[in-house]
Structure 1
C-alpha cells in the first residue's frame, strides 16, 4: 500500500512535469482535465486506498488525499471522487459486489456518484430519475431494471466507467421510495446513455463537472445496491464517510496556503524590515496556524472514529463537514489579506494562492453545504444535549480514536446508524478531559480549559429546551450548532494532547504551545505571545505541511 511519505516523494519528483504549478495553472486556464497528474496517482496505487476494507485505515486514506490536495485541489477532487462514488457499495453492497468493484477501483477505473438533479439539487426526495423493474421478472429473483432520467453537476460524470445512481423506484417517493444502482456504462446498449456537456465553474475549472441522461437503460438485478427502497438510508450512511473524507481537501488547502504565506513573509521586505518580523504579520500567521492545527485535530479524531465510534458518525460527520471547510475558508481569507495584491494575481508570484482560494470555496458545498450539515446536527440536538447532561460516553472508543498510535479496530458497516443513540462521546467526555488536563497538562492551559467548560455549560443551558421545527429551523438555532462544533474541536485538541506523548514535545508541544494556541483561537482570544511563538515555528518549518501528524506518521 502507498504511504504518505512515498506519495510525497513521488509528487516532489514530478514538480517539473505533471505536478508543476505552471502546468496545473495552464490546464486550469484552459479548463482542461489534469490527465497526467491523475495517471501518475493511478500508477502510484492511490486508488487502492479508496477501497474501504474492514482491515483498512480510513484515516490514512484521508491523509493521502490531503497530500494530493496540498499540491492541487482540482487534481485531488477529480481523483478522490472515486471514493465517493464507490462508498455506497462499501456500505451496503454484497460480498460479490464489493469484491468486483474493489478490483476495478484498484485498477484505476473512475466511479462517479449520481445524486443531484438540475431542478432539485440537494433535495433528494424530489428526484425524478426513475428505475422501473422489468415487467416480466421479479427483480429480487433475478429480473432487471430500466433506468431513465438525468443527473447533473456530477463530478467525473463523463470520464467514469461506473456510476452509482440514486433512482426513484416507487412513484410515491418518500423515505422508502428510492434505490441505488451501480451502473456499468460499458454494458449499456448504444444510445441509452448520453453524456451532458461539461459545466463551466468558477473554481476547479479542469474537473469533469458535467452530467448524464439515461433513456430506458437496462441494468441487471445485481446492479441494485442493498434492497429496493434502501436508497436514501444508504446515501445518508455513506455521507457519514464521505463528509469526513472531504476534510482532506481543506487540510491540504490550509497546508498550501500556509506555505505560500510563509514564503512570502520570509522573502518580502517592507521599509527595510523583513515582513516575517512585523508583529501584526506574525499574529496573522500564528492564528492561521492555530486554525490549521485545529481542523487537523478535528479531522484526525473524526476519521479514526469511523473505526472506533461508527454509531456516532451521523452527528460527528455532520459537525466535522460543517466546521472544517468553514474555518479553513476563513483562514484562507485572512492569509489572502496578508498576501495583499499578490493573493489576487493569476500569474506568478502570487497566482498559486488565487487559484487555491477560489478552488476551495466548493469544498463547503460538497456532500451537503454547511447549512445542510448544521441542520442535520440540530435535528439530533435534543438527544445530544440529553447525553451531555447525563455525562455518558464511550470512553474506550474516544481514547482509541485519539491515540494515533493505537491499532484501529476493523471498520464495521453494520454499526452505522441513521441517528446516534449514544450522542457524541468526544463532547460528552469534555468535563473529565478537563480534569485530566488540570492534573497532567501545562499550567498555562488551565484558565483556557475553565473558559471552555463555561462555554460548554452555556451551550447546555441554551440548547436544553431546543426542539427542531418541522419545515425549517430559526436562524438563531445555528448558533447552537456552531457552539457544539467548537466544543468538539476543543475536545479533539485536548484528547490528542493527552493521548499522544510525542505531541507534547518539540517546539510545538513544549509548554503546550499548539494546544494553548488552538484553545485561544477557539475561544476568540488575542494572546499575542502564543500566536507569535506559533508563527515562529511556522516560519522555521521548511516542510510542505504544518502538521501535528508529522511527528507520528
Structure 2
C-alpha cells in the first residue's frame, strides 16, 4: 500500500466534501434534510462523488481501478458517511455489489465490471428475497441453463439501488434441491435485456435512509449469456459467504462516519448552549458523558482499523474477524448515539431548530447498518458456529502468530489475495490466541501503573473464562440458545480488548496510549460490570473531543496513514 496515495485520496475527497457542504452545494445540510423529508434520492451528491472519482476506489488496481487497500475504502466511505449516511449507502452500494466479482477472480469478468463502474455504472447486489430474510440459500429465483445461456426467473427484494443500478449481481438457485452447491451468481446487465424481461418494483418507504433506492427487481425469462456467470456454476453460496467477509467489514465505515457526525453535533451543542450561566461543556457530567461516547468511537475505530488490515494480512481468519466487526462496531455506535442524544435532549428530535434535524436523521439512518449484510444476530450465530475452535486455540500463539500481529500494524500491507479467504479459520483467531503474550508485554511496558495493572488482571481472568466457555460449547440443531448469543457478545468484547493490547504495544505517543487505556477500561467495564472505568480516565479523554474542531480520532491526524 502506498500510504502517500491513500492520504492524498482522503485529503482530496475531504476538501471536495467541505466545498460541497456550503450553501447550495450537493452536500449542504439544508439540501440533504429537504431530500430526506421528501424521500428523494440524493442524485446531485452521488453525481459529485462520481465526478471526483470515488467509484474508481471500489475497483481493485488489477482490474483497472485504484483500490489497493481496504483500509482506504473504509477511510473514504467514512468521510462521506460523516456528512450524510444516505449518500454513503447509496453510492457505496456499488462497492458491495461488485465484491463478489473481485472474490471470484475471473479476470475478464472483473475487468469488464471495472470498466462499467469507471464509466459511472451503479451495481446492486441481489441476494435477499421476500419471505426469506437473511437466509439467502432459501432463495427461489431460479437459473436454468439453456442453449443461449441461462434463463433467470424470480424476484429479489429489499435491494439497495435495485432500480437505479445498471448492473445487478444476482444469486440464483441453479439446482432444484438448493444446498451449498445449488446456487450461482450472475452479472445481469439490464441494458442487454428486452424491456419485458425485467421489472423494477416500487421504492419502499423506510424509517431511515429515506432517499435511498430501496426497491426490488423481478426477472421474467431473462436470458443472460454464459459469460454472465460469476465464478463457476454452483459456487454462488461460497462466493457470497467470502464476499460478505469483506462487505461486513466495510460496513463499519458507515458506523464510524455516523459516530463522527454525532460527536460533532454534540460538541457544537455543548459549547454553544449555556446552563446556570456557563456552557454545558463545563459541567462534569456533560464532559464525562461526551468522553465515554468518544471512547466508544475510539474503540470502534481501533477494531475497524485492525479488521480492515486483516483482510490483507490474515484473510484466512476473516470469517471470525468480519463477524466480530459487523456485530460489534454498529452496536457500539448505537450506544454512542444514545449517549449523545441524551446530551442534546429535545434538540436531538426537532427538525427545524438545531442543524436542520441532522441528529434525528443520522439516528434513523444508522438503524439500518446493523441489518445490512447480515444482522447482528446472524453474525453472532456465525461466531457461535466457530466457538470450539476459537476456545481451544486460546493462548496457543506461535512465532508465526507474532509475525502476523506485527504485520497487522506495519505500514506496508501485502496485496489482497482473495484465494486465501476461507469459510472457517484453519487455526482459530490470531488476536485472541495472543492475549496472554500481549498481557505480558503490556505489563512490562506499564509495570508502575497500578490502575492499569488492575484492569489487565480483570481482563485476563474474564477473557480466559470466555474462551473456556467457548471451548466447552456443544453445537445444537436449529437456532442456538440465548446463552450462546450472550457468550458471542462477550467474545466480541474480548476481541476488542485484544486489539487494545496489541495497539498499546505498537503505537508510540501519549495520545494513543491514553485513549487506548480508556478503551481497555471500557472493555473491562462491559465484561465485568462491578469494575466501572475510572472517572479520572474519562476526564482526561474529554479535551480530545472538546478542544478540537477536527473529528476526534484514536490515531491523531499526523498518524492516520499508519493504520488507515
TM bin (shorter chain): over 0.9
Match of 2:369 among 358, 363, 374: 363
Deviations 1:473-506 (A, max 9, x none): 01011121111111111111222232232xx23x
Aligned equivalent of 1:431: 436
Displacement of 1:53 in angstroms is: 4.1
- TM-score, length-normalised on structure 2? 0.93
Deviations 1:74-101 (A, max 9, x none): 0000000001100000000411011111
Displacement of 1:104 in angstroms is: 1.5
SS in 2 for 1:414: helix
Aligned equivalent of 1:140: none
Displacement of 1:433 in angstroms is: 1.0
Contact conserved, 2:273 with 2:280, CA < 8 A, in 1?
A: yes
Once structures 1 and 2 are overlaid, which stretch shifts more, 270-279 or 364-373? 270-279
Displacement of 1:469 in angstroms is: 1.3
Contact conserved, 1:305 with 1:398, CA < 8 A, in 2?
A: no
Match of 2:463 among 456, 463, 484: 456
Contact conserved, 1:59 with 1:304, CA < 8 A, in 2?
A: yes
Displacement of 1:389 in angstroms is: 4.8
Unaligned runs of 5+ in 2: 526-531
* Counterparts of 1:445 and 1:434, CA distance in 2: 11
Q: How does 1:36-435 map to 2 (within 5 A)?
A: 36-53=44-61, 56-134=68-146, 136=147, 143-349=148-354, 351-392=357-398, 394-403=401-410, 406-435=411-440
* Counterparts of 1:472 and 1:274, CA distance in 2: 51
CA RMSD of aligned residues (A): 1.4
Deviations 1:375-406 (A, max 9, x none): 00010010111111534562222221123xx2
Contact conserved, 1:47 with 1:107, CA < 8 A, in 2?
A: no
Aligned equivalent of 1:531: 538
Q: How does 1:490-509 map to 2 (within 5 A)?
A: 490-501=497-508, 504-505=509-510, 508-509=511-512
Contact conserved, 1:52 with 1:58, CA < 8 A, in 2?
A: no
* Counterparts of 2:210 and 2:225, CA distance in 1: 35
* Counterparts of 1:26 and 1:176, CA distance in 2: 47
Residues 160 and 37 of structure 1: is their aligned pair in 2 closer, same or farther, counting only changes over 3 Å? same
* Counterparts of 1:457 and 1:414, CA distance in 2: 33
Contact conserved, 1:318 with 1:377, CA < 8 A, in 2?
A: yes
Deviations 1:38-94 (A, max 9, x none): 011111111111113467101111010000000000000000000110000000041
Contact conserved, 1:296 with 1:548, CA < 8 A, in 2?
A: no
Once structures 1 and 2 are overlaid, which stretch shifts more, 308-317 or 441-450? 441-450
SS in 2 for 1:316: helix
* Counterparts of 2:116 and 2:434, CA distance in 1: 42
Aligned equivalent of 2:32: 24
Q: Does 1:3 align with 2:9?
A: yes
* Counterparts of 2:255 and 2:556, CA distance in 1: 15
Aligned equivalent of 2:520: 519
- TM-score, length-normalised on structure 1? 0.95
Displacement of 1:445 in angstroms is: 2.7
Displacement of 1:8 in angstroms is: 0.7
SS in 2 for 1:523: helix
Contact conserved, 2:173 with 2:184, CA < 8 A, in 1?
A: yes
SS in 1 for 2:482: coil
Once structures 1 and 2 are overlaid, which stretch shifts more, 435-444 or 114-123? 435-444
* Counterparts of 2:434 and 2:352, CA distance in 1: 49
Displacement of 1:254 in angstroms is: 0.6
Displacement of 1:180 in angstroms is: 0.3
Contact conserved, 1:52 with 1:87, CA < 8 A, in 2?
A: no
Displacement of 1:234 in angstroms is: 0.5
* Counterparts of 2:75 and 2:334, CA distance in 1: 19
SS in 1 for 2:184: strand
Once structures 1 and 2 are overlaid, which stretch shifts more, 106-115 or 151-160? 106-115
The number of equivalent residue pairs is: 538
Contact conserved, 1:253 with 1:356, CA < 8 A, in 2?
A: yes
Deviations 1:115-134 (A, max 9, x none): 00012111112110000000
* Counterparts of 2:251 and 2:313, CA distance in 1: 19
Residues 322 and 151 of structure 1: is their aligned pair in 2 closer, same or farther, counting only changes over 3 Å? same
